[in-house]
Amino acid sequence: MMKKYSQLFSLVFFGIFSFFVTTASAIDLDEATRTVVVDGSGKTMVLTPEQVKRGKRLFNATCGACHLGGITKTNPNVGLDSEALSLATPRRDNVAALVDFLKNPTTYDGLESIAEVHPSIKSADIYPRMRSVTDEDLTAIAGHILLQPKVLTEKWGGGKIYY
């Protein structure tokens, strides 16, 4: 008898808990937050909620192992924060530039290709996860990278002090 009540209690508790957790984690970002720069001319676009979710999922699956929290584990001096992206050569602080980087990655100074050591469309034979990534996926990933400084502020790219 006690076992039945404990199972029933567990089921009710789980149901109530999952209801509150689901509604609490479904954060809707406003349009201003979802607005990112598309290209070097300053043109902007508003990411759809689906693009935001897809970008986060794809980033975590394909980039998260080395760039968790916007840092670069292989080179902590180069992060994915807004300042670091804007100081790269060429600038990587817009969707088009990040998509270009994900297709053909170069060093921070832009002088050498790093396709053999950084996952990209160009090196999809070495990095199988990149084989099925489309341009839409790359745009969603780039949108996620540009959106995170607005959501996480200084934590994005902040390094060990936050993660």
Separation between Cα atoms, residue 98 and residue 104, nearest integer Å:
10
Average pLDDT, the chain: 88
Q: pLDDT tens digit string along 109-120?
A: 999 999 999 999
Q: Is the peptide bond before 49 cis (omega within 30 degrees of 0)?
A: no
Q: What is the pLDDT of residue 49?
A: 96
Those residues whose C-beta lies under 8 Å from the C-beta of residue 84, and which sit 6 or more positions away, are 78, 157
Would the pLDDT of 134 be above 70?
A: yes
Beta bridge partners, 36, equal: 45
pLDDT band at 121 (very low <50, low <70, confident <90, very high): very high
Separation between Cα atoms, residue 161 and residue 39, nearest integer Å:
32
Contact present, 129 and 61 (Cβ < 8 Å) = yes
Q: pLDDT tens digit string along 10-69?
A: 666 666 666 555 433 336 899 999 999 999 999 999 999 999 999 999 999 999 999 999
